[in-house]
Structure 1
Amino acid sequence: MSVDMATSDPEDATRSRGTLLMKVPGRARPQKQALKEFNEAVTELRRRYEPAFWPLVVPEARDMFRWRVLLDCGCAQEVYTHGDDRFPDDRSYLDHMTDAQLPPGEFWCAATHASAPNPYREIVEWCDRKIIDFPADPEEPEYAMDPETWALIRHDGPHSSAFWRVKLECGHYGQVCTEIAWKPEDGPKLASRKRITEMRADFEESWSTDGDGAWPAEGPEREHLRKMLDLRWPRPAPDQDCYTCAHISRIVGYQRIGWLVRRTPPVPAPAPRIDRDKIAARLAAAEAEVERLKHQLSSVEN
């Protein structure tokens, strides 16, 4: 079930709508169960936001129309739209990993699926950043590092880093850590050619001696590392692995269920009460007037 706030697809005006209507396999949940879970989600939204923001972020059950959507992973999920005149692929859904909006047509499946390695995507936009302060690193090595390596990277005093929110070429978002003074227009810092030669030799030796236990394993991640060495180890890197790409599903069909809160047809207004006596009197008067006019017309003709 998805009750996160929707955003409209800017391409709505130019693409065909409702092209994925179909019979989705399976059955919808009972209406009472759907309404109960919706109200629980709304309660959580109201807990997270101040009342002043509720009209913007908290949907009303009476406005929600239920749909079953079929995903390309084979799963069927239930979603809502504001009204019955919008389709599930008219809106963007929430990326639960980054709290950003997914590109239209994508959906985060709640089921667990086997996935391919995270693909690397080019960074196309550096959006904004936040500064986070850290205490000094402990003297003892962390992350299973050897003492020599830990001594090289350890911060012996408090320090701060900038964490940038970045947009990737796939339309998803990620996060990149940089030095505080760095700006996108500065471009990446590059390692010296001598240092790259040393790093390449170290990696190749590790891969040849450690065999299957070497990091990273043979495959896309190791190929990406070689690519970064060819580029002289740019920092920050021009791309990033995208977890969302490896786990997201696409909507391939949808079917109407109905309103979340059943709507009662309006009761027709009662017909006005007919007073037969008054109508009979009016009819008699009209007939008498007709007879009078006939008599008057006959007198004129004679």
Structure 2
Amino acid sequence: MSVGETAPVDDQTRETGKLLKRVPGRARPQKEALREFEKAVAELRQRYQPVFWPLFVPEPKDMFRWRVQLECGCTREVYTRGEDKYPDDRSYLDLITRCRLPSGEYWCTTDHGRTQKPYRDIVEWVDRKVTEFPADPEEPEYDWMDAEDWAKIRKPEPHSSAFWRVKLACGHYAQVCTDVDWKPENGPRLVSEERIEEIRRDFEESWAAEGHTGWPHEGPERDHIRKMIDLRWPRPEPERDCFTCTHVRRITGYQRIGWLVSKTSPAPAPSPNIDRKKIAARLAAAEAEVQRLRKQLDNPDDA
């Protein structure tokens, strides 16, 4: 796990430490982990000015090592700031969007085979970036597209598009392209009843001729097309396929490894030189004073 991939999670209702267990396998050598961590720290220091290092650059001495197990069975090593923080107290980084994942999720880099991306509702239009493009070329940009279809969508003049960062119902983030003048409060644009029937007929005829192998293949993507047809082909679409969902896994357990930098107990302070004769004299004087005071208490009339 790279440095700087975690952020604290503010969730007071979630029970922490409930996933402590023995995780299969063995931890890698401490020197190897420290070497990798220090390399990542050096890269972070080049990215940020020194004034920001306390905020964005962790110190190896503050980091505690854990082994975590994911629901897919894979194991990974992660760090927390201190031994009293648990791995599911952290929010890890989405390696594609660079946004934070929901707590308890972790990006698994293991290739688990091809998985179809599920579609998720868009729950928030976060922000956008406008990008300028030159005029489209006269010839089709795609090998599979003929000149007639290309002429219908080609933009002969320079143009702009807005790229929105959106939050999905699963808690992940994706990107959606819209016209520059579109705003979320406007709602999606719909095609006419006549046009949607043409679109429906074209797809149904294609699927009838090519069966399950027709584009898109039977599954989530074809279900999405059918849903968009029923909604009269809204633009932008109210849902988005989530690539992140195919790679993240829930954390199902974690086990302590230890501090990234070993903690050493402070050496005991050397005893100061003691003048035993002086201390003995002071003690004798104190005892004599105690005896005198006791006599006064026993014989108040003699005081």
TM-score (norm 2): 0.91
The equivalent of 2:146 in structure 1 is 146
**1:257 to 1:287, Cα distance in 2 relative to 1, 3 A:** closer
Contact 1:42 1:59 in 2 (8 A): yes
Mapped pair 1:171 → 2:171: yes
Q: Which moved more, 1:199-208 or 1:221-230?
A: 199-208
Contact 1:8 1:92 in 2 (8 A): yes
Query: How far off is 1:287 after superposition?
Result: 7.2
Structure 1 gap ranges (5+) = none
| Structure 2 equivalent of residue 261 of structure 1 | 261
Measured against aligned partners, the alpha-carbon deviations of 1:26-71 in whole angstroms (never above 9, x if no partner) come to 1111111101101111122222333333222111111111111111
2:68 matched residue in structure 1: 69
What is residue 55 of structure 2 aligned with on the other side?
Answer: 56
Distance 1:136 1:52, change over 3 A: farther
Structure-2 change in CA distance of 1:289 and 1:124 (3 Å): closer
Q: Which amino acid aligns with 1:231?
A: L
Residue 292 of structure 1 and its aligned partner are, at CA, apart by: 8.8
Give runs of aligned pairs for residues 281-296 of structure 1, distance below 5 A.
281-282=281-282
What amino acid does structure 2 have at the position aligned with 1:276? R
Counterpart position of 1:90: 89
CA contact (8 A) 1:63 1:82 kept: yes
Compute the displacement of 1:200 (Å). Answer: 1.2
Contact 2:109 2:247 in 1 (8 A): no
Instruction: Give the match for residue 156 of structure 1.
Output: 156
> Residue 229 of structure 1 aligns with which residue?
229
How many residue pairs were aligned?
299
Q: Which residue of 2 aligns with 1:245?
A: 245
Could you tell me how far 1:173 is from its partner in structure 2?
0.7
RMSD: 2.4
Which is worse superposed, 110-119 or 146-155? Answer: 110-119
After superposition, what is the alpha-carbon deviation per residue over 1:213-235, rounded to whole angstroms, capped at 9, x for unaligned?
41101112111101110110000
Q: Which amino acid aligns with 1:69?
A: V
Q: 5+ residue gaps in structure 2?
A: none
8 Å contact kept, 2:2–2:40 = no
Hey, what's the Cα distance between the residues in 2 that align with 1:203 and 1:288? Answer: 110
CA distance in 2, matches of 1:119, 1:295: 93
Deviations 1:120-147 (A, max 9, x none): 1100111111000011111111222111
Paired position in structure 1 for 2:199 = 199
Q: Which residue of 2 aligns with 1:181?
A: 181
User: Equivalent residue for 1:190?
Assistant: 190
What is the CA–CA distance in structure 1 between the aligned matches of 2:273 and 2:201, rounded to whole Å? 99
Alpha carbons of 1:289 and 1:242: their partners in 2 closer, same or farther (altered >3 Å)? closer
One-letter code of the match for 2:70? L
Residues 55 and 292 (structure 1), Cα distance of their counterparts in 2 relative to 1, 3 Å cut: closer
Letter in 2 for 1:34: A
Q: Percent same amino acid at aligned positions?
A: 65
Q: Which moved more, 1:287-296 or 1:14-23?
A: 287-296
Cα distance in 1, alignment partners of residues 49 and 100 from structure 2: 22
SS at match of 1:66: strand
- 1:3–1:79 contact (8 Å) kept in structure 2: no
Amino acid at match of 1:268: P
